[in-house]
Amino acid sequence: MMNIIKNSLIYRFIISIFNIYKNSFIFTIISKFSNFLRNSFEKSFLCKQITDEKRYQNSFVYKTIKAGVELKLKIFNKIGYVYSESVLYKVLKGSFILKNARVLGTLLVLFALGIFEFLPFAIIYVLVLLYSLFELSAEGKLKYISTNIYFAFMLYAIATIVFSLSSYDMKNSIVYAAFNLFTMSFILIGYMINNKKELEKVLTGFSISIIGLGIYSVYQFLFVDTSKLGWVDDKLNPEISTRVFATMGNPNQFAEYLVLALPILIALFFAAKKMSTKAITFVAVGAGLVSLVLTYSRAGYLAFFVGALVFVLCLKMEVLFSGVLVLPLALMVLPKSMLSRIATIGNMKDTSVTYRVDIWEAATRMINEHFYTGIGYSAKTFELLYPYYRGWAPVASHAHNSFLETFVEMGVIGFIIFLFLNYTIVKEFISGIINAKTEYTKIMLAGCLASFTGILCHSMFEHTWFYWRNLVLIWVVVGIGLAVIKFDRETN
């Protein structure tokens, strides 16, 4: 497939134009300017990174959390030792089943994420997770990954428990906290994937699931009319009759899923060496982009664009500045329906825009009355109290903004912890990119960072930390980032 693309007239024309531009005076100036910005950022960032690292690691809370994590690992290592001495392990040792069960199981988990409903998916994951931890323990490969992400992660986990116990609707909040703690366990993907080869196998399987969702999306677009579901204002966008959602329930949720998935797959396309992996990933990215367009999610378009900018910025800053020159040309080839949808961003005549603004105003009133304590960690609590603060909007399951929702639920303290969590993840990924020993690490971490910053952008317009598939995928992205950091540290 790659040879066909490279031998095509369009590909050769694009390459010749790029080579002319690359040798031009404009490109030279842009490259020098971008290198200056990158070098100045890296120096200032690294100095702050070292200072922050010492401050966190010397704190009592950090040492307590680290001790707790290491104790859990010791327990799993003890169980793993018993397992390694068992007859079953000795019989299967060296077999295809034992060597590949953990990788195939992890692949199945990511594949099932977009296909299965929650209960069968959760059962598969728990079985795979327990097996993986015991197997890694038996092999002596279950080791603590030293990173500040776990410190922020544990603070946030503790906050979810505390604010569920102080909720106006404690019963629902405790269930909601337990559910969210379960999704947070997917950060352990960082332990389950042990090397680059395993990661590529898992993400190749994930690519196949994206291709399947893409085919289903095209089917929905051609044969299913969703105009009666009220997902688009037919007065402002009369040409849009269908917004695809695949297996996700609604198009905005599907767009969030794609915003998280696509940058990781784009990174794999550039980082992978095997042509078969590149070919499958290329098709998956194409299917995902078509699906994203057909969701007609304005927040999804914006979030993906932000993620793409971050990805390019991490790898080739000069391309970012060059992209400004070709952006008007790119806009000319976009579908008319997509452009008209984008044009309604911020249009107060659009019912979905006014609906969100009304909810945001109600959320700010809730924050003013519950500034310190919050109402309790649960979207159900928000839904319960919202009627007392609302404007014209009749129903709201959440604040349609993850930052506002967190402030409403957990008050100012929980909100600061949430911001700290996001800041720490972004900071650790950037640090990993700057200190990367290999190009593979730099590319894959750039993909993780693009996914995470993209979903943070989307969180300004939707409560992305609400739908279970997207919650799981957020922590999978973080876990993959931690796995890549682990591979890089083990590189000689």
Tell me how crowded residue 354 is: count the other CB atoms within 10 A of its CB. Answer: 16
State residue 99's pLDDT score: 64
From the number of C-beta atoms within 10 Å of its C-beta (0-12, 13-18, 19+), residue 413 rates as: middle
State residue 334's pLDDT score: 61
What backbone phi and psi angles, to 5 degrees, belong to 194? Answer: -105, -15
Q: Which residues does 251 contact at the CB level (< 8 Å), separation at least 6? A: 226, 231, 243, 244, 245, 295, 296, 297
- How many Å apart are CA 367 and CA 403, to the nearest integer? 11
State residue 111's pLDDT score: 84
Q: pTM, whole model, 2 decimals? A: 0.83
**Per-domain residue ranges of the chain:** 57-143, 150-490
The answer to whether the beta carbons of residues 474 and 465 sit under 8 Å apart is yes
Rg value, the chain, Cα: 23
Give the chain's residues under pLDDT 70: 1-63, 65-66, 68-69, 72-73, 76, 80-81, 83, 87-99, 144, 226-240, 316-351, 391-394, 492
Helices vs strands, H then E, count in the chain: 21, 0
State residue 184's pLDDT score: 93
Identity (one letter) of the amino acid at 479? G
Cα 142 to the chain's mean position, in Å? 24
State residue 128's pLDDT score: 86
- How many Å apart are CA 193 and CA 448, to the nearest integer? 15
Q: What are the E-state strand segments in 253-318?
A: none
From the number of C-beta atoms within 10 Å of its C-beta (0-12, 13-18, 19+), residue 87 rates as: exposed
- How many Å apart are CA 202 and CA 102, to the nearest integer? 10
State residue 470's pLDDT score: 94
The answer to whether the beta carbons of residues 414 and 146 sit under 8 Å apart is no
Q: Which of 83, 130, 397, 454 is nearest to 266 (CA)?
A: 454
- How many Å apart are CA 443 and CA 278, to the nearest integer? 14
State residue 110's pLDDT score: 86
From the number of C-beta atoms within 10 Å of its C-beta (0-12, 13-18, 19+), residue 79 rates as: middle
State residue 307's pLDDT score: 93
Cα dist from 368 to 329, 356, 431, whole Å? 46, 18, 37
